[in-house]
Amino acid sequence: MRLGTMMTGTPNADRSGEHMDAQIGSEEWPARSLLGLLSLPARRELLGLGTRVRFEAGSVLLSEGMNDQHVLLLLSGFAKVTATVENGESSLLAVRAAGDTVGEMASMTGAPRSATVTACGPLTARALPSGVLRELLLRRPEVSMTLTAIVAERLRWANQRRLDFRGYPAKVRLARLLVELAAAYGSPVAEGVVVNCRLTQPEMATLVGAAETTIHKVLRELRDEGLLKTGYRATVIRDLHRLRRLAGLADEPR
């Protein structure tokens, strides 16, 4: 059963792929995601909870302002987190991928949803009622501590974006964003590192606080300098070392 373009309240089940969840525990998840950070026993327990659901591209997983409190654990695909700003326009806040959770803040605080989450393409997830999540956090301190650390890191990331807006030119801000996306969602390929998270130029502009025309110019410069290759479906960082230097970031330890 496929969900419609908006999900509110407790999601409907998609039991067609329920038997596959046992295999998911052995897959390699992004290192910075919740599933990537948990031990195998904790990961298996988490993957056994809730109900498996599926969304099509463009479907709304969670809606800003709603009072539903379930959490979604993404199993495949990407989702974009957006919020409405004062002028009524939608602003991109973050991207979430397989292994990540969305909706945990409302579940833990009981407050209305602070953002809308939309599927970037076909996406599967496990929907956990808030009570199920709370019981797991009490039963498994490892999960509680890991999720708390992830929420704290997301706050740090948001604060860093605000500092970047004031302290760096647009080219450096975009380089820093690309480096972080590569670390979170990148995969090594022959040409460099492919960022498996497709963002449009307007979305990049929102994330780095620049005009779309500026991002277009900066991307062209990065391509001309041999740092980046962009295509319809993927962005490839051709020289991550040089991009990190441009971003003012130290190389990661080998």
Phi and psi for 169 in degrees, rounded to 5? Answer: -70, 165
> Can you give the CATH number for the domain in which 194 is found?
1.10.10.10
What pLDDT score does 185 carry?
80
What pLDDT score does 95 carry?
87
Average pLDDT, the chain: 84
Q: Which residue has tokens 């040409």?
A: 191
| C-alpha to C-alpha distance for 157 and 152, rounded to whole angstroms | 9
**Side-chain half-sphere CA neighbours of 126 within 13 A:** 26
Contact call for residues 210 and 180 (beta carbons, < 8 A): no
Q: What's the mean pLDDT in 235-253?
A: 85
Count how many residues are written for the chain.
Answer: 254
Q: Of 108, 132, 162, at which residue does a domain stop?
A: 162
pLDDT digits (tens, 9 = 90+) for 104-130: 999 888 899 999 999 988 999 999 999
| C-alpha to C-alpha distance for 163 and 61, rounded to whole angstroms | 30
What pLDDT score does 18 carry?
46
Give the amino acid at 22.
A
| Element of type H or E holding 206 | helix 201-208
Q: What's the mean pLDDT in 228-249?
A: 88
> Can you give the CATH number for the domain in which 65 is found?
2.60.120.10
Q: What's the mean pLDDT in 83-96?
A: 80
Contact call for residues 77 and 119 (beta carbons, < 8 A): yes
Q: Which of helix, strand or coil describes residue 154? A: helix
> What's the pTM value of the predicted model, to 2 decimals?
0.76
What pLDDT score does 254 carry?
53
135 in the same domain as 19? yes
pLDDT of 56 over the 50 cut: yes
**Boundaries of domain holding 193:** 168-247
pLDDT digits (tens, 9 = 90+) for 9-53: 334 455 444 444 444 444 568 878 999 999 999 999 999 999 999
pLDDT digits (tens, 9 = 90+) for 67-81: 999 999 999 988 989
Q: Of 125, 146, 162, at which residue does a domain stop?
A: 162
Lowest mean pLDDT, pick from 51-65, 96-110, 184-198, 206-220 = 184-198
Let me know if residue 154 belongs to a domain: yes
Contact call for residues 230 and 199 (beta carbons, < 8 A): no
Q: Of 128, 162, 196, at which residue does a domain stop?
A: 162
Which residues, in sequence order, are CB contacts of 216 under 8 Å at separation 6+? Answer: 201
| C-alpha to C-alpha distance for 157 and 94, rounded to whole angstroms | 10
| C-alpha to C-alpha distance for 89 and 191, rounded to whole angstroms | 37
Q: What's the mean pLDDT in 133-152?
A: 94
